[in-house]
Amino acid sequence: MEDYYMDEHKETSCPKLTGRIVFPGEPGYNEARLDANFFTSKKRFPDLIVYCQNTRDVQNAIKWARFHDVPIRVRSGGHNHESFSTATGVIVIDVSEMKQLHVDKSKGVATVQPGVTGQELYSKPFRTGPYPRRWDLR
Ligand SMILES: Cc1cc2nc3c(=O)[nH]c(=O)nc-3n(C[C@H](O)[C@H](O)[C@H](O)COP(=O)(O)OP(=O)(O)OC[C@H]3O[C@@H](n4cnc5c(N)ncnc54)[C@H](O)[C@@H]3O)c2cc1C
Does residue 115 share a domain with residue 61? no
Q: Which tens digit of pLDDT belongs to each residue from 40-78?
A: 899 999 999 999 999 999 999 999 999 999 999 999 999
| Separation between Cα atoms, residue 36 and residue 136, nearest integer Å | 26
Q: Are residues 47 and 105 in the same domain?
A: no
Integer CA distances (angstroms), 135 to 55, 96, 116, 121, in order = 18, 18, 13, 10
CB neighbour list of residue 38: distance below 8 Å, 6 or more residues apart: none
Residues with pLDDT less than 50, the chain: 1-5, 7-11
pLDDT of residue 58: 96
Pocket test for ligand 1, best of 33, 57, 79, 119 (most atoms within 8 A of CB): 79
Contact 50, 19 (CB under 8 A): yes
**One domain for residues 116 and 75:** no
Atom number, ligand 1, closest to the C-alpha of residue 36: 53
The parent domain of residue 15 ranges over: 2-94
- Decide: 78 in ligand 1 pocket, CB within 6 A: yes
Could you tell me if 50 and 114 lie in one domain?
A: no
pLDDT for res 125? 63
Are residues 19 and 77 part of one domain? yes
Query: Is the domain of 35 the same as that of 79?
Result: yes
Please tell me the residue having the least CA distance from ligand 1 atom 10: 80
Are residues 117 and 73 both part of a single domain?
no
Instruction: Verify whether ligand 1 is closer than 6 Å to residue 86 (CB atom).
Output: no
Q: How many domains does the chain have?
A: 2
Verify that 49 and 105 share a domain, yes or no. Answer: no
For residues 17 and 83, membership in a common domain is answered with yes
pTM to 2 decimals?
A: 0.85
Pair 120, 54 in one domain: no
Q: Are residues 66 and 41 in the same domain?
A: yes
